[in-house]
């Protein structure tokens, strides 16, 4: 007879990624291609037994895969594909074959996010049980002198509703809570069990004097009504933690964590719900989709 202890040991040996729940899971880290950045990130995550979804461009896949493979309890690879790349589906196949668990950050599309042109991409990611991280809302313009074919309107948050409904097995994270369309973001998350949002970007800076504002956005905790899905969870659990580190700026991890905690405390979100927001929700989705 196999004892519970041996099952635990077998799981530990064969599934190191699933060994212990991290205290913090950062669902939004851009890899700048520099291996020393990943070293610094791992070091920053260590005190939290932390984990990060690392968004890797196709050109950095070969060099990054061995680093991710060597740190399965710290780094989870996401394929940072371009929706308009004619080879996008093939790239997803390559990332999946390399053990990557998601795609994104999907951003700056030439068509609306829910355009049928992108259906094969979402269908393939769903087939692989991947998580898709979408940019939503306002986006930066770093080279104002150079013309660019980018529009915030193609990345409006309500476009995720149709995608979430069409691909129920695709877990979706919308970055930035639709900035500034927060109420729209929360409402579509309320009815779509496969849709979550992070609060990265300028939102928690903009709202720092008014964090209780988010109680009006995530309003349905413990509301019993046929007009909202039955759930014992806090409405705030539609949020997941992210830092949106880019250009290797690791300090953003601490700043983002601090802002999340201040907002969640100001809104009176329970410790249990905060643990799910900071890691538990995405951790369980990772475990479920690795079976």
Contact set with Zn ion (CB under 5 A):
135, 175
222: left (phi over 0), alpha (psi -120 to 50) or beta: left
The torsion angles phi and psi of 109, rounded to 5 degrees, stand at: -75, 155
225: number of Cβ within 10 Å:
8
Report, in Å, the least distance between residue 224 CB and Zn ion. Answer: 36
The candidate with the shortest Cα–Cα distance to 75, out of 96, 114, 45, is 45
Contact in structure between 156 and 180 (CB atoms under 8 Å)? no
Report, in Å, the least distance between residue 136 CB and Zn ion. Answer: 8
| Residue 76: strand pairing partners | 53
Report, in Å, the least distance between residue 134 CB and Zn ion. Answer: 8
| Residue number with CB closer to Zn ion (33 or 72) | 33
Report, in Å, the least distance between residue 96 CB and Zn ion. Answer: 23
Q: How far apart are CA 282 and CA 194, in angstroms?
A: 11
| Residue number with CB closer to Zn ion (25 or 273) | 25
Q: How far apart are CA 42 and CA 47, in angstroms?
A: 10
| Residue number with CB closer to Zn ion (197 or 218) | 197
| Residue number with CB closer to Zn ion (29 or 269) | 29
| Residue number with CB closer to Zn ion (98 or 158) | 158
Report, in Å, the least distance between residue 135 CB and Zn ion. Answer: 4
| Residue number with CB closer to Zn ion (91 or 135) | 135
Give the nearest residue (CB) to Zn ion: 135
* The residue count for the chain: 291
| Residue 26: strand pairing partners | 52
Report, in Å, the least distance between residue 254 CB and Zn ion. Answer: 19
The tokens of 82 are what?
């371009």
The torsion angles phi and psi of 174, rounded to 5 degrees, stand at: -95, 120
Q: How far apart are CA 76 and CA 98, in angstroms?
A: 11
């Amino acid at each position: 007879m196999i004892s519970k202890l041996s099952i635990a040991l077998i799981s530990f040996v064969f599934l190191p990624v699933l060994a212990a729940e991290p205290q913090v899971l950062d669902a939004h880290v851009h890899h700048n291609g520099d291996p020393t950045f990943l070293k610094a990130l791992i070091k920053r995550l260590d005190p939290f037994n932390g984990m990060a979804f690392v968004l890797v461009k196709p050109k950095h896949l070969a060099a990054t895969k061995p680093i991710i493979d060597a740190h399965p309890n710290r780094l989870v690879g996401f394929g940072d594909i371009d929706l308009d790349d004619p080879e996008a589906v093939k790239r997803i196949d390559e990332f999946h074959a390399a053990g990557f668990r998601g795609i994104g950050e999907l951003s700056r599309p030439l068509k609306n996010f829910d355009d049928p042109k992108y259906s094969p991409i979402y269908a393939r990611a769903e087939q692989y049980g991947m998580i898709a991280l979408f940019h939503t809302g306002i986006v930066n313009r770093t080279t104002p002198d150079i013309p660019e074919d980018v529009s915030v309107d193609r990345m409006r948050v309500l476009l995720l509703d149709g995608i979430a409904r069409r691909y129920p097995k695709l877990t979706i994270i919308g970055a930035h809570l639709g900035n500034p369309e927060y109420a729209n973001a929360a409402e579509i998350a309320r009815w779509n069990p496969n849709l979550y949002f992070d609060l990265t970007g300028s939102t928690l800076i903009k709202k720092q004097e008014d964090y209780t504002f988010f109680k009006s956005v995530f309003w349905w905790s413990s509301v019993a009504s046929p007009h909202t899905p039955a759930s014992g969870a806090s409405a705030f659990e539609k949020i997941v933690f992210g830092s949106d580190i880019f250009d290797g700026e690791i300090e953003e991890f601490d700043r983002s964590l601090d802002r999340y905690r201040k907002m969640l405390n100001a809104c009176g979100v329970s410790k249990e719900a905060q643990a799910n927001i900071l890691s538990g929700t995405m951790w369980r989705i990772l475990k479920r989709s690795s079976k």
